Amino acid sequence: MHQVESPSRLTRTRPSAASRALGVIEAVLAPLVYPKSAEDYLREVFPLLSRREILAEVVAVRPETPDTTTLVLRPNGLFRGHRAGQWLMVEAEVFGVRRTRCFSIASAPALHQEKGTIEVTIKARPGGVVTPELVWRQKPGAIITISEAQGTFVLPETLPARPLFVSGGSGITPVMSMLRELALHNQAHGATFVYYARTAADVVFARELQEHALFSGAEILVWTDDEPSAVSAPFGRCDARADLSAHVPDFAERETFVCGPPGLLGAMSALYAERGASERLHTEAFSLEEHTSRDDGGTEPQVVFARAAKTQKGSRTLLAMAEDAGLTPRSGCRMGICHSCTCRKVSGVTRDIRTGELSTDANVDVRICVNEPVGNVVLDL
């Protein structure tokens, strides 16, 4: 069985010579540029340079479908590679505000090993803040911050013999990475790739899937609701149970990798449990960003002060509630002017009592003196 080089082994390598040299340069320059860091100055000329943050340049923007775009990223040397199926966090500036979202890496690890690039394929979520910007407004040349690759939904190091991949909608990205990795190592023959898309126009990577069907030996089955797409022979509404039974009769004997909406995951789990094949089923859920306030009217909002391990119920300002809970957070003007009380909100929705503005993102700073909880909130306090 073919061994794919695992990036987890790369993580144990020593820092590169370039990184060590940079460290020396920075240490020498540090006293001269105090209180800035040498990196602040160097980055004006070399925008990807950093010893702390994984920065990536958007080297190309490739439209895939009307609402899906692939961003080709070239990360700096701090990025230690990824495994097929993993995801990473992308921190991009949207309307001037840094926002973080998670995306699966769609490209094969081999692409990063050979060309130093990775690809994320993003679908614009209707009504979303970040994804429409990344899909329709992202320009090549931008510098974004990314995280290490994460996640355990990966292609095993010992490649399975005849893997089955099932995905729906934008859930195609992690399994596409797996298929691409197999194909690049000439291991795709025997693999089956099942994909559900709403319409033929929504089939992401349609051309490439066609090529895989023709040249890499993988069996590609694409179902769309409206009409047969270029790659799909069968079509009709998504019914994983019937489709697999009819077209992949031996599915329960194959290592199966599934990513898609909750309905698909539920159907697959039930099917594999019935056949006693649950251990061969590997799933990745992708949940849409939660943007609505979780205020269901009846229940009283609750704030968890994570560091102090205290909980407080009520609907007063976060600062007042912290003090009620016996904490003494830093505070100043108590009217939203001085930013002394700024504190990290780990999760939950808060409302600015002056403007009524909701803060829905996780891991952002809020001024606790002028914000009240809406539903459950966790503060790093």
**Interface residues toward another protein, by CB under 8 A:** 31-36, 40-41, 44, 53, 93, 95-99, 332-333, 335-340, 342, 355, 364-365
Distance CA(366)–CA(3), nearest Å, equals 48
Q: Which lies closer to another protein via its Cβ, residue 2 or residue 98?
A: 98
Q: Which lies closer to another protein via its Cβ, residue 100 or residue 113?
A: 100
In whole angstroms, how close is the CB of 31 to another protein at the nearest point? 6
Distance CA(221)–CA(201), nearest Å, equals 16
**Which 3-state string (H, E, C) describes 301-370?**
CEEEECCCCEEEECCCCHHHHHHHCCCCCCCCCCCCCCCCCEEEEEEEEEEECCCCCEECCCCEEEEHHH
Q: Which lies closer to another protein via its Cβ, residue 154 or residue 366?
A: 366
**CA torsion 350→353→358→363, rounded to 10°?**
-40
Distance CA(83)–CA(9), nearest Å, equals 11
Distance CA(363)–CA(347), nearest Å, equals 6
Q: Which lies closer to another protein via its Cβ, residue 288 or residue 335?
A: 335
In whole angstroms, how close is the CB of 359 to another protein at the nearest point? 11
Distance CA(55)–CA(316), nearest Å, equals 40
In whole angstroms, how close is the CB of 118 to another protein at the nearest point? 22
Q: Is 25 helix (H, G, I), strand (E, B) or coil?
A: helix
CA atoms within 13 A on the CB side of 197: 26
Burial of 299 (0-12, 13-18, 19+ CB in 10 A): exposed
In whole angstroms, how close is the CB of 96 to another protein at the nearest point? 4
Distance CA(199)–CA(194), nearest Å, equals 15
Q: Which lies closer to another protein via its Cβ, residue 4 or residue 56?
A: 56
Q: Which lies closer to another protein via its Cβ, residue 76 or residue 177?
A: 76
Q: Which lies closer to another protein via its Cβ, residue 45 or residue 309?
A: 45
Q: Is 377 helix (H, G, I), strand (E, B) or coil?
A: strand
Q: Which lies closer to another protein via its Cβ, residue 50 or residue 65?
A: 50
Provide the H-helix boundaries in 154-249: 172-184, 206-211, 240-247
In whole angstroms, how close is the CB of 106 to another protein at the nearest point? 27
In whole angstroms, how close is the CB of 356 to another protein at the nearest point? 10
Residue burial 283-294, b: 16+ Cβ < 10 Å; e: rest: bbebeebeeeee
Nearest 5°: phi and psi at 241? -60, -55
